[in-house]
Amino acid sequence: MIFDVLTLFPAMFSGPTTESILKRAQQAGLITIRLHNIRDWATDRHRTADDAPYGGGAGMVMKAVPLAAAIRAALALEPKAPPAPVILLSPDGTPFTQALAHELAQQPRLVLLCGHYEGLDERVREALVTHEVSIGDYVLTGGELAAMVLIDAVARLCPGVIDAASISEESHSDGLLEYPHYTRPAVWEERPVPPVLLSGHHGEVARWRREERLRRTLARRPDLLPHAYVAGQLSQADLRFLAELGWMP
């Protein structure tokens, strides 16, 4: 998977993309993150990438000319491949979810555009942006942190980046939250590990974990259960257990 990131602040990406799993994934050639400074496509001496809005008002707007040139140059980096999605990170976008992360992980390449100031010239959005994604209902100072969140969530789903087994039962993978985890010691500050986990009985452990996922989802994110139900992710045993806890579809 190739991520081409268009940003006014490439230095912001060091740290999140240069440590830990993303670092290893890049070293192993499983993902490539290329940073492009939008200012490099500015045409004036001051490398201006923003300007005052037509009609007046607060803030600045990202200029169409350098932005469009930057996007087109990024698209041209892989001329033989079908055009990559161009994703604008913005608080107006489609909410980012695990399901969207899985969908994007199917692509060979993503072009990520980090919005700034009051936004970008609407004509660039119309002409060149194919998707708009928000990481939550709050406003960041720019799209960079959102792009890093998207890269992190999508990269870990790319084959080989992390152990496939950790993905299948993690939070949100099938519409439920994750079960609790424990490691040694068996008793910590008078708190024992749930005995079933020490029983060596794999079937019982699996059942306990499934029930803990259901219990936790009902307690913390009951809004997720109707979606899991409609998506056919709740078995008859799940529904019986949830009924005991007082939840009915």
- Write out the binding residues: 115, 135-140
- Spatial strand order of the sheet with 32-37 comes to 32-37, 2-7, 109-114, 86-95, 131-134
Out of 63, 143, 177, 208, the residue judged to bind ligand ADE by CB under 6 A:
143
Out of 7, 17, 90, 217, the residue judged to bind ligand ADE by CB under 6 A:
90
- Burial level of 98, CB count in 10 A (0-12/13-18/19+)? middle
Out of 59, 136, 195, 249, the residue judged to bind ligand ADE by CB under 6 A:
136
Quick one: 146 or 176, whose CB is closer to ligand ADE? Answer: 146
Query: Is 134 one of the binding residues for ligand ADE (CB under 6 A)?
Result: yes
Query: Is 54 one of the binding residues for ligand ADE (CB under 6 A)?
Result: no
Quick one: 7 or 134, whose CB is closer to ligand ADE? Answer: 134
Contact in structure between 160 and 30 (CB atoms under 8 Å):
yes
Q: What b-and-e string marks burial along 37-55, b requiring 16 or more CB atoms within 10 Å of the CB?
A: bbbebbeeeeeebbeeeee
| Number of CB atoms found within 10 A of residue 183's CB | 7
Which is it for the CA torsion 159, 163, 167, 169, positive or negative?
Answer: positive
Query: Is 135 one of the binding residues for ligand ADE (CB under 6 A)?
Result: yes
Query: Is 10 one of the binding residues for ligand ADE (CB under 6 A)?
Result: no
Instruction: Give the gyration radius of the chain's Cα atoms.
Output: 23
Query: Is 37 one of the binding residues for ligand ADE (CB under 6 A)?
Result: no
CA distance 90 to 92: 5
Query: Is 76 one of the binding residues for ligand ADE (CB under 6 A)?
Result: no
Contact in structure between 124 and 71 (CB atoms under 8 Å):
yes
Stretch near ligand ADE under the rule CB under 6 A, chosen from 26-34, 136-144, 179-187, 213-221: 136-144
Out of 138, 189, 223, 246, the residue judged to bind ligand ADE by CB under 6 A:
138
Tallying the residues shown for the chain, one arrives at 249
Which residue positions form the known binding site for S-adenosyl-L-methionine?
Answer: 115, 135-140
Cβ of residue 229: shortest distance to ligand ADE, in angstroms?
Answer: 29
Quick one: 114 or 128, whose CB is closer to ligand ADE? Answer: 114
Question: Residue numbers of the site for ligand ADE (CB under 6 A)?
Answer: 89-91, 115, 134-136, 138-140, 142-143, 146
